Structure 1
Amino acid sequence: MRRFFQSQKFIPILFSLLTILAYGLLLPKTGFYWDDWPFAWIAKFLGPSEFVPAFAPFRPFLGPIFYFTTSLVPPVPLYWQVFALVIRCIIGITAWWTFKQIWPERPRTALIASLFILIFPGYSQHWVALTHINQELIPFIFYLLSFGFTFKALRSEKPTTYIILALLLQICGIFPTEYFFGLEGLRFLFLFFFFQGNLIERFTKTLKTWWPYLIIWILNAAWLIYYYKFGPYNSYEVTAAQSLTTLTFIRAVLDALWKAGFYIWIQVLVLTFKSLPAPASLLTLSLILLSFALLAFYLKNTSQPENDKEKTFPISLIIIGIIGILLGRLPSLAAGLPLTLQSSFDRFMVSMMIGASLFLLGIIELLFKDNRIRNYVFALVIALGIGQQFFNANIFRRDWEKQRDIYWQMTWRIPA
């Protein structure tokens, strides 16, 4: 049994189980929310093909994604919640594969980082499934795969195919939505810390590998400037860049680092303790304890020791994490939008997901040298993330109950 747990074949099973624990326990009691409704109406009454012209005035590259998914999944709430569960699991497995390409000699790092991303507690919009699967999560998968194929190309004797795949996936990840504009900086950082030598040698090697991706990044920047300032989307007023002062910028930076790097990981404790002894809070805390026990047992019996003598590695994770958080905040900050947790605005956390996860991982690696204690900390962080997502699910469950009650009142009281 222990050998099976340690095998690579068990990892997808682990991701599936944790996905169900975090996101699936209340799945039958959730439905459509907010922007899901107009999208569902378009899919049912106008047909999936209508998404292409519908998105043309503001996000023309997003329309094909909506067309594909709504052709695949009917506009039924339960179907989309199940689909969201599948997509979330795919994100975790994709992140694991990508980090294995970046750090093949560090299987534990790859696994823990991807588990942090799987349960990432700063992003509460999972249940607004029809909207956010298309708007953020699918492009995010493309970008993760692009990172992975970049490093697969570096270790391949015939890298051309992998480079082309990485470039195509980068296009699919960056052009549909401006959310991930800042993510490209992470590729540069991953490459910089991957190469050996002094700073100048590493910088030179990084540029030699990164320049094709840089060209696409520049093209995307030019496209955004044209489209949002001079093109069909000119009616959308973005005044943040004009009103952003040095002081407000510093505050926004510190706010993003505090929330994404620290607070979101313990937020569930604050939320549940405020509402004790409410049944939902007790259930959330019970799930955290159960998840911690299972994860601690798993990590204790499967932990693979790594080269912990390399003291610079946790520092590199922290640096990548800090810059990744700030790059992820850049698009929403430029638009003057707040980073408010437990609201629709925490959707901007999706672009900080990688940076925040690596930052916390680096902090834990740096502070806890004992492998046994470190595994307990990892288990606790993941368990808290599972608890946070269950807490979020219950909020959306209550919202769906209220919606159904309103619709029932309308059908019963309003004459046909």
Structure 2
Amino acid sequence: MRKRFRNIQIPFIFLPILLLIFSFFSYGILAGKLGIYWDDWAYVWTRLELGYKGLLRHFSFSRPVAGQIHNLAILMTGKNPLRIQLFGLIMRVLSSTMVGYLVYQIWGKSRYISYLCALFFIAYPGFTMQPIAINFSFSYFLIGILCLSFLLTIRAIRKHSRRILLEGFALILSGVNLFASEYFFLLELIRPLIISVEISKSEPNRRQIFLKSVLRSAPYGILFIFAAIYRMFFNQTQTSYYDFSILREIKTHPFTALASYVVTVIKDCYKVLVSAWLEIFHFPSPEILGQRTFLMYAAICLILFVSVLICLYFLRNSIDPKGKRPAIQLILIGIVSLILAGQPFWLTNTNLSFVFQNSRFTLPFILGVSFVWGGVFSLFRKTRILFVGLAAILIGLSAGRHFVNANEYRRDWTLTKDFFWQLKWRAPAIAENTVFITNVLPIRFSTDNSLTAPLNWIYADGYVNQTMPYMLYTNTKRENSLSGMEAGQPVFQEYLSAQFFGKTSDAISIYFNAPGCVHVLDPEVDLFNQMIPIIDRDAALLNNYSRILTDVSYQPLDSVIFGPEPVHGWCWYYEQADLSRQRKDWQKVVDLGNQAFSLSDYPNDPMERIPFIEGYAHVADWEQAVAQTTAALEVTPMMNNPLCVLWNRIDRDCQNSEEKNTSVNKIQKILDCSFLP
């Protein structure tokens, strides 16, 4: 019985199933609660709003082949966030399977080594941007076709009768990788090493191995040189985007620059090889993560640990007993892959890290990392059971870390949806050629450039002559584009697939700091709001209420993208009240206020009482106006100045009456308005 148990065989075909299990528990379990992020917004919006040619135009400046691939991807996913997430996970599983199959075919059909490499590839914890699924499914696609190209080259060596056909397909796939992106460009150069490994199986003479490898690699080398010339001289947009500062430094201070370069190479290789895996031992806090989510994290770690442990335990003796040669070859090719993968970043002094957005720079390293650790964990036969346990621990904890990362993206998607729903409640329609100026939004995984796409999706009626009617700027990033917050200045933005033309005087200034509501800044009141940074107060002066079209009926957001409309809580009442205040429908403001203040929900920002205070004053409900003023001031004394300005406006705009004068006098005793002229 024990012998039969030990002889259980796990076929290679089970590998993609194990990888699917990993993907499901790491990201798939939350896929229905994830959304669209970062560059995916621009890609999906461009394809679905500007069409096939629009997306080709978007990539024509730097990655012309990429446009075709992204067109195909979005054709399959559409704008549905769930389909986008599932597509990204499928591409991750397929590319990981290709990595495993490449190792399986080249290194003696060892299921143990191939499983290890595929698992280390899919579980790599240094890459944290998986939910940006359209963008990085493209990267996984390129890794997959590169591995497939390597496989076809190996098959061409083995099957002489089909050599031309197989080499032809391998060259085509190599060309797609070389012309589609710079990320995996230099990984093409490990092909000669893979070829030499294959040739060495039947050729013992090292000189002959070298000569035959060079001969077999020649067509790919010619294609590589042609692609390099194309990038350097015929498509300089992408090349000129990067600053090859190390080359300038070598010219001026050669020894210092080279020493710094070598140190950076060593540090970054250690970072992607070792530090990335140490990240999984930074366990999340149950208090921060939440008890329920923490229990899910622990369960996922345990499930993947047990699954991988069982698989690797039964696979541990599937290695060719001839020696350590396959493992050593795998390690050496992995090290070369790491050195090649890092060159674009080291030559341009690009910072490599595991956080958004620089986490994407780890992608070219993952193949080399999986080769190195796959080789190391299969190198020691006598202590292999220990390495089986260690691998299971690493994969299990990595699954948990990816789940925690997915949860961060889930929270970010909730914030993104809240932002746009509240904005739509406040501004049902916007005049064209309007620039939105925002504070640094709490949305982590989308930039202002990214969020410009859904903004146009929500408000634009159409696009004429490759122009887009709306642009979103973060004030701290785009102060130069906004001419230092000076009114009346032109604003121009190139969006690759379209262009924006506007003026700083045609702006809507917004402040959003969750859990507070989206706040359209008041040029009069928010100028004195000390609870927001100075740059936001300056932006308030540019706010032009006339850009918000108040006479247009409300249309909800696209439910396919943004889901069903949220339950109307405090922020809905606040946004509707502020919109009614702009319309000067004071009775509607008061009705909304009476309903809002009877809720169990409440304002998270005392500034959210401002429209209600003004509304109560205009319908002569002075008792409520004073009460809400007092309530706002009790939250923080920093409400003093905006309340002073507000009551100054109330005194100016409301009809005189004895009750009004009494209330104004009472407020003057509560507030210190000596700063007003």
Task: Identify the residue that residue 310 of structure 1 maps to in structure 2.
Answer: 323
Query: Retained in 2: the 8 A contact 1:276–1:282?
Result: no
Task: Identify the residue that residue 320 of structure 1 maps to in structure 2.
Answer: 333
Task: Identify the residue that residue 348 of structure 2 maps to in structure 1.
Answer: 335
Task: Identify the residue that residue 202 of structure 1 maps to in structure 2.
Answer: 209
1:223 maps onto 2:227 in alignment: no
Displacement after TM superposition at 1:340 (Å):
1.2
Give the Cα separation in 1 of the matches to 2:30 and 2:239: 42
**Higher helix fraction (1 or 2):** 1
Q: Which amino acid aligns with 1:406?
A: F
Displacement after TM superposition at 1:403 (Å):
0.9
**Cα 1:232/1:264, change in 2 over 3 Å:** closer
**Cα 1:329/1:233, change in 2 over 3 Å:** closer
Q: Which amino acid aligns with 1:300?
A: Y
Equivalent residue in structure 2 for 1:236, among 217, 241, 248? 241
Equivalent residue in structure 2 for 1:77, among 81, 85, 88? 81
Give the Cα separation in 1 of the matches to 2:422 and 2:401: 32
When normalised by structure 2's length, the TM-score is 0.57
Task: Identify the residue that residue 265 of structure 2 maps to in structure 1.
Answer: 253
- 1:100-249 matched pairs, under 5 angstroms: 100-134=104-138, 136-158=139-161, 159-196=163-200, 197-227=204-234, 231-232=236-237, 236=241, 238-240=243-245, 241-243=247-249, 245-249=257-261
Give the Cα separation in 2 of the matches to 1:70 and 1:355: 29
After superposition, the C-alpha distances for 1:209-237 in whole angstroms (9 at most, x for unaligned) are: 11111111111111121145xx4557635
Look up the SS of the partner of 1:238 in the other structure: coil
Look up the SS of the partner of 1:399 in the other structure: helix
Instruction: State the aligned residue count.
Output: 413
Q: Which amino acid aligns with 2:313?
A: K
Query: Retained in 2: the 8 A contact 1:146–1:169?
Result: yes
Q: Which amino acid aligns with 2:142?
A: P
Q: Which amino acid aligns with 1:152?
A: R
Q: Which amino acid aligns with 2:368?
A: G
Aligned-pair Cα RMSD in Å: 2.5
Query: Retained in 2: the 8 A contact 1:22–1:389?
Result: yes
Give the Cα separation in 1 of the matches to 2:166 and 2:287: 51
**Cα 1:369/1:344, change in 2 over 3 Å:** farther
Give the Cα separation in 2 of the matches to 1:75 and 1:39: 10
Displacement after TM superposition at 1:199 (Å):
3.9
After superposition, the C-alpha distances for 1:310-358 in whole angstroms (9 at most, x for unaligned) are: 1333322222121111111112223332111122212121111111111
Query: Retained in 2: the 8 A contact 1:265–1:384?
Result: no
**Cα 1:257/1:285, change in 2 over 3 Å:** farther
Q: Which amino acid aligns with 1:222?
A: I
**Cα 1:71/1:48, change in 2 over 3 Å:** farther
Displacement after TM superposition at 1:113 (Å):
0.9
- 1:32-111 matched pairs, under 5 angstroms: 32-111=36-115
Give the Cα separation in 2 of the matches to 1:74 and 1:143: 26
Displacement after TM superposition at 1:202 (Å):
2.4
Larger RCO, structure (CA 8 Å, separation 6 or more): 1
After superposition, the C-alpha distances for 1:148-170 in whole angstroms (9 at most, x for unaligned) are: 11112222132222111111111
Give the Cα separation in 1 of the matches to 2:379 and 2:13: 30
Query: Retained in 1: the 8 A contact 2:126–2:272?
Result: yes
**Cα 1:243/1:384, change in 2 over 3 Å:** farther
After superposition, the C-alpha distances for 1:295-316 in whole angstroms (9 at most, x for unaligned) are: 2123223444323451333322
Moved more, 360-369 or 160-169: 360-369
Query: Retained in 1: the 8 A contact 2:8–2:314?
Result: no
Task: Identify the residue that residue 388 of structure 1 maps to in structure 2.
Answer: 401
Query: Retained in 2: the 8 A contact 1:339–1:345?
Result: yes
Give the Cα separation in 1 of the matches to 2:197 and 2:220: 17
Identity of aligned residues (%): 26
Query: Retained in 1: the 8 A contact 2:302–2:396?
Result: yes
Displacement after TM superposition at 1:83 (Å):
0.8
Look up the SS of the partner of 2:378 in the other structure: helix
Give the Cα separation in 2 of the matches to 1:277 and 1:30: 17
Displacement after TM superposition at 1:69 (Å):
1.6
Task: Identify the residue that residue 359 of structure 2 maps to in structure 1.
Answer: 346
1:298 maps onto 2:311 in alignment: yes
After superposition, the C-alpha distances for 1:85-137 in whole angstroms (9 at most, x for unaligned) are: 21111112222222222124322212221121122222212111122223x22
Task: Identify the residue that residue 357 of structure 1 maps to in structure 2.
Answer: 370
1:21 maps onto 2:21 in alignment: no
Give the Cα separation in 2 of the matches to 1:67 and 1:236: 24
Q: Which amino acid aligns with 1:236?
A: Y
Displacement after TM superposition at 1:145 (Å):
0.7
When normalised by structure 1's length, the TM-score is 0.91
Look up the SS of the partner of 1:62 in the other structure: helix
Give the Cα separation in 1 of the matches to 2:222 and 2:240: 28
Query: Retained in 2: the 8 A contact 1:256–1:326?
Result: no
**Cα 1:175/1:96, change in 2 over 3 Å:** same
**Cα 1:71/1:217, change in 2 over 3 Å:** same
Look up the SS of the partner of 1:6 in the other structure: coil
Task: Identify the residue that residue 422 of structure 2 maps to in structure 1.
Answer: 409
Look up the SS of the partner of 1:61 in the other structure: helix
Give the Cα separation in 1 of the matches to 2:395 and 2:62: 37
Moved more, 339-348 or 2-11: 2-11
Look up the SS of the partner of 2:150 in the other structure: helix
Task: Identify the residue that residue 379 of structure 1 maps to in structure 2.
Answer: 392
Query: Retained in 2: the 8 A contact 1:52–1:64?
Result: yes
Task: Identify the residue that residue 264 of structure 1 maps to in structure 2.
Answer: 276
Give the Cα separation in 2 of the matches to 1:353 and 1:81: 21
Give the Cα separation in 2 of the matches to 1:390 and 1:186: 33
Q: Which amino acid aligns with 1:208?
A: L
Moved more, 206-215 or 359-368: 359-368
Give the Cα separation in 2 of the matches to 1:254 and 1:331: 15
Q: Which amino acid aligns with 1:412?
A: W
Larger radius of gyration: 2
Give the Cα separation in 1 of the matches to 2:96 and 2:289: 33
Give the Cα separation in 2 of the matches to 1:218 and 1:87: 29
Give the gaps of 5 or more residues in structure 1.
Answer: none
Moved more, 401-410 or 244-253: 244-253
Query: Retained in 2: the 8 A contact 1:73–1:80?
Result: yes
